[in-house]
């Protein structure tokens, strides 16, 4: 929901007008799809990375406004928590600039931001959940200053009518309540964007849904929350619970959650936007002045502001995006299931696996989603979040199989094939996918390293928070070296 909104109170008339305007936007979107008005000749990829801010003791620091001012780059923006920032890496062709160009661009941007952050006494860390974060760090005072976050917080609790209940079991147990949505800010992610033609959107979205569990198992990097060791990718259940507008009675009625995997394979991008309107009340019923029908009839491109604002408050793990760039509308898949970090090298390996595998699955004559139930894909996601790279996941033709075996035997060759189809030669793709291969061979990723390192430190450091702090400092040292996490030493 990356847009500024005013601070205000919504009336019943606001909600009535917004519902009408959203339907108008949806009708115009359908017309644009029928008339093939979309940019599809220059497919691009994009990347967003959310980061945490810490002090020199690796404790969270609530200074994103100061750091943003010091960075002074429009690619950077605030996020929900005052200890978060986000970088929006400019879109590009997947093979633009040669093998090292994207990594060099991202590292240069992050290194510059780190330098500027240090000038105001903070540091950046790419990680799924900051291990040193305590529950007292995520109260109302931790909300970023932008009015949209406070307004969103108020609307979630107005809909819910009671405190949020956060509950999960891992190695440890967590049972707690929250009176703000700020625990959501603990979840920092990597988001891969893929621009596609409207005709290709459904197969790419279906492919992304089918592999979400495998992605999370390979890249898990969030094993700790509020001092407790929980799931390998605790981000998944935390995000689902920290933005849940449903009290228990509404859940029991089967009302859909706003953090949503979905419920079916789709045949068109229209299906997802239609579901948004059908199933989810508006949290931010703000109408703009543009009439989408008049705009389209006049030969211009409508922004569809109400449709896109509402879409930003339905938190799918693979989200549809409608946007206008250079007076050209386009659609893209936003892949949102992965944590941030541990390194740029790991991030780009995750991206290569995602882009290559989805391309290969889309090209398959008998798509995987025609041989796999949607429920199986959803179950894979939660099994992977709980167990990480040690998970056993379902795949058609193989049954339930350990993730390393599934990737090495079946999916990694497909990812190579997809990248080759995208114009990436072997010398380019092998170092990227080699990181994925070695994670499978070693059984190690960011979450495994964090857990093992914490256990080693805790053997001689009985204070859990101090052990987490020391582990986080080590993590930051290795992160800056940019060596993939499967190579990080524990002893």
Judge whether residue 6 has pLDDT over 70.
Answer: no
Q: pLDDT band for position 40 (50/70/90)? A: confident
Judge whether residue 1 has pLDDT over 50.
Answer: no
- How do beta strands 318-325 and 259-260 pair? unpaired
Whole-angstrom Cα distance, residue 457 to residue 443?
21
Joined together, the tokens standing for residue 24 give 């108008």
Q: Are 193 and 47 in contact (CB under 8 A)?
A: yes
Judge whether residue 25 has pLDDT over 80.
Answer: yes
Whole-angstrom Cα distance, residue 407 to residue 288?
47
Judge whether residue 7 has pLDDT over 90.
Answer: no
R_g (Cα) of the chain, nearest Å: 22
Q: What is the pLDDT of residue 326?
A: 87
Please state whether the peptide bond connecting residue 85 to the residue before it is cis, i.e. omega within 30 degrees of 0. no
Q: Residue 428: inside a domain, yes or no? A: no
Q: Are 397 and 371 in contact (CB under 8 A)?
A: yes
* Mean pLDDT rounded to a whole number for the chain: 96
Find, among 220, 236, 215, the residue nearest to 407 by Cα. Answer: 215
Whole-angstrom Cα distance, residue 68 to residue 76?
7
Residues of the chain with pLDDT > 90: what percent? 94
Judge whether residue 184 has pLDDT over 70.
Answer: yes
Find, among 144, 158, 10, the residue nearest to 65 by Cα. Answer: 144
Q: Residue 475: inside a domain, yes or no? A: no
Whole-angstrom Cα distance, residue 269 to residue 148?
27
Task: Supply φ then ψ for residue 37, to 5 degrees.
Answer: -95, 20
Q: Residue 411: inside a domain, yes or no? A: no
Judge whether residue 179 has pLDDT over 70.
Answer: yes
Model-wide pTM > 0.75: yes
Whole-angstrom Cα distance, residue 477 to residue 125?
10
- Region 311-315: mean pLDDT is 97
Q: pLDDT band for position 286 (50/70/90)? A: very high
Q: Residue 439: inside a domain, yes or no? A: no
The distance of Cα 479 from the centroid of its chain, to the nearest Å, equals 20
Q: pLDDT band for position 52 (50/70/90)? A: very high
The residue behind tokens 């920092």 is 188
Q: What is the DSSP string of 74-87?
A: TTEEE-SBTTEEEE
Instruction: List residues bridging with 477 in a β-sheet.
Output: none
Q: Are 432 and 205 in contact (CB under 8 A)?
A: no
Which residues are within 8 A (CB) of 218 and not within 5 positions of it... i.e. 6 or more apart? 350, 353, 389, 403, 407, 436, 439, 440, 445
Q: pLDDT band for position 98 (50/70/90)? A: confident
Q: pLDDT band for position 3 (50/70/90)? A: low
Residue 340 is given by DSSP the state P
Q: Residue 343: inside a domain, yes or no? A: yes
Q: Residue 429: inside a domain, yes or no? A: no
For residue 315, the domain's CATH number is 3.30.590.50
Q: Residue 401: inside a domain, yes or no? A: no
pLDDT in tens, 116-154: 999 999 999 999 999 999 999 999 999 999 888 999 999
- Domain coverage including residue 111: 12-388
- Region 457-476: mean pLDDT is 97
pLDDT in tens, 72-87: 999 999 999 999 999 9
Q: pLDDT band for position 4 (50/70/90)? A: low
Residues in the chain: 491
The residue behind tokens 């990812």 is 415
Whole-angstrom Cα distance, residue 130 to residue 95?
33
Judge whether residue 216 has pLDDT over 50.
Answer: yes
Q: What is the pLDDT of residue 365?
A: 93
Q: Domain total for the chain? A: 1
Q: Residue 318: inside a domain, yes or no? A: yes
Judge whether residue 231 has pLDDT over 80.
Answer: yes
């Amino acid at each position: 929901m990356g847009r500024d909104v005013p601070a205000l109170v919504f009336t019943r008339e606001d909600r009535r007008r917004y519902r009408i305007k959203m339907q108008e936007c949806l009708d115009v979107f359908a017309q644009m799809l029928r008339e093939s008005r979309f940019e599809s000749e220059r497919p691009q990829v994009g990347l967003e990375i959310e980061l945490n801010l810490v002090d020199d003791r690796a404790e969270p620091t609530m200074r994103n406004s100061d750091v943003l001012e010091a960075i002074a780059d429009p690619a950077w923006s605030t996020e929900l928590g005052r200890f978060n920032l986000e970088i929006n890496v400019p879109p590009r062709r997947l093979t633009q600039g040669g093998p090292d160009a994207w990594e060099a661009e991202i590292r240069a941007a992050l290194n510059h931001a780190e330098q500027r952050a240090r000038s105001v006494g903070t540091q950046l860390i790419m990680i799924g959940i900051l291990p040193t974060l305590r529950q007292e760090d995520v109260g109302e005072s931790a909300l970023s200053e932008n009015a949209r976050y406070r307004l969103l917080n108020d609307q979630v609790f107005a809909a819910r009518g009671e405190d949020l209940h956060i509950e999960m079991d891992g190695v440890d147990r967590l049972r707690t309540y929250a009176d703000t949505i700020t625990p959501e800010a603990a979840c920092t992610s990597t988001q891969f964007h893929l621009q596609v033609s409207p005709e290709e959107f459904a197969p790419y979205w279906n492919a992304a849904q089918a592999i979400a569990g495998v992605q999370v198992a390979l890249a898990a990097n969030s094993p700790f929350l509020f001092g407790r060791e929980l799931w390998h990718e605790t981000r998944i259940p935390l995000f689902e619970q920290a933005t849940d507008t449903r009290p228990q009675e509404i859940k029991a009625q089967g009302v859909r959650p706003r953090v949503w995997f979905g419920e079916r394979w789709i045949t068109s991008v229209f299906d997802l936007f239609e579901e948004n309107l059908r199933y989810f009340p508006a949290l931010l019923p703000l109408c703009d002045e543009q009439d989408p029908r008049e705009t389209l009839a006049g030969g211009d491109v409508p922004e569809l502001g109400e449709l896109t604002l509402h879409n930003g408050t339905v938190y799918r793990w693979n989200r549809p995006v409608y946007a206008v760039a250079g007076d050209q509308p386009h659609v893209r898949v936003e892949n949102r299931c992965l944590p941030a970090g541990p390194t740029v090298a790991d991030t780009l390996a995750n991206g290569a696996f995602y882009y290559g595998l989805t391309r290969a699955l889309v090209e398959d004559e008998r798509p995987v989603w025609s041989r796999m139930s949607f429920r199986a894909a959803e179950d894979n996601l939660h099994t992977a979040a709980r167990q990480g790279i040690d998970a056993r996941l379902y795949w058609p033709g193989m049954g339930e199989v350990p993730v390393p075996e599934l990737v090495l035997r079946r999916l990694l060759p497909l990812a190579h094939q997809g990248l080759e189809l995208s114009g990436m030669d072997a010398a380019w793709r092998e170092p990227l996918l080699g990181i994925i291969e070695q994670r499978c061979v070693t059984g190690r990723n960011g979450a495994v390293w964090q857990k093992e390192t914490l256990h080693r430190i805790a053997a001689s450091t009985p204070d859990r928070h101090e052990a987490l702090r020391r582990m986080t400092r080590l993590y930051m040292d290795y992160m800056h070296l940019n060596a993939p996490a499967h190579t990080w030493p524990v002893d």
